[in-house]
């Protein structure tokens, strides 16, 4: 887990705002007892997690494809080739939706804007170091090989979430049940 206490506060605020904004149908699925705290979520989402990422074509048609997703500092990050349709869509229309599912034990739906991250910044350098922890020593060489092949670095983006809906089966995820009354307060 790489989240700071401030990251966790912001993530919890996002989860609470998203829960409060749900419609009747979604409230029937994501009931208070199926919620998860920001800290529990960040603790669980370590390593690479497949995201199904949706972008939009110039004429408004959705395009959905998997990406290697990384939950880092309370946000989803992902990369692609600089010449990919996904990155072209994001450069032109940054609104995205993404879903991560672990069977029926955990589901995360995020809506927001993908921001391509400048690789010279400290946030990117910290993110890159975290991916090297996951992939090991070959990762920096792989990134250098892609840069040579493509003539530019592989771009990475972070989803600036406007909404993040999360549901869980606490038991299936190995989390303790919420104490009586706490589910109502969340």
pLDDT for 184: 45
Of 138 and 58, the one with more pLDDT = 58
What residues form DSSP beta bridges with 71? 76
Owner of token pair 């307060």: 185
Alpha carbon of residue 159 to chain centroid: 7
Q: What is the pLDDT confidence band of residue 174, given thresholds at 50, 70 and 90?
A: confident
Phi, psi of 104 (to 5 degrees): -100, 5
Q: Would the pTM of this model clear 0.75, i.e. be above it?
A: yes
Residue 45, classed as helix, strand or coil, is coil
Of 124 and 178, the one with more pLDDT = 124
Cβ neighbours around 53 below 10 Å, total? 26
Residues 6+ apart with CB under 8 A from 96: 53, 54, 55, 90, 111, 112, 113, 114, 159
Token pair listed for 36:
């998860």
Half-sphere exposure of 146 toward its Cβ, with a 13 Å CA cutoff? Answer: 15
């Amino acid at each position: 887990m790489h989240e700071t206490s401030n990251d966790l506060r912001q993530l919890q605020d996002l989860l609470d705002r998203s829960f409060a904004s749900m419609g009747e149908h979604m409230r029937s699925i994501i009931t208070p007892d199926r919620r998860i705290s920001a800290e529990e979520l960040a603790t669980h989402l370590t390593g690479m997690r497949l995201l199904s990422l949706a972008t939009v074509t110039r004429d408004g048609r959705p395009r959905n494809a998997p990406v290697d997703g990384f939950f880092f500092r309370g946000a989803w990050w992902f990369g692609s080739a600089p010449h990919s349709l996904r990155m072209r869509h994001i450069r032109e229309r940054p609104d995205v939706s993404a879903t991560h599912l672990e069977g029926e034990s955990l589901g995360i739906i995020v809506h927001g804007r993908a921001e391509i991250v400048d690789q010279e910044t400290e946030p990117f350098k910290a993110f890159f170091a975290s991916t090297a922890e996951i992939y090991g020593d070959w990762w920096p060489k792989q990134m250098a090989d892609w840069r040579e092949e493509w003539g530019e670095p592989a771009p990475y983006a972070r989803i600036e979430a406007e909404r993040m809906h999360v549901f869980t089966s606490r038991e299936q995820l190995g989390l303790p049940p919420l104490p009586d009354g706490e589910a109502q307060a969340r």
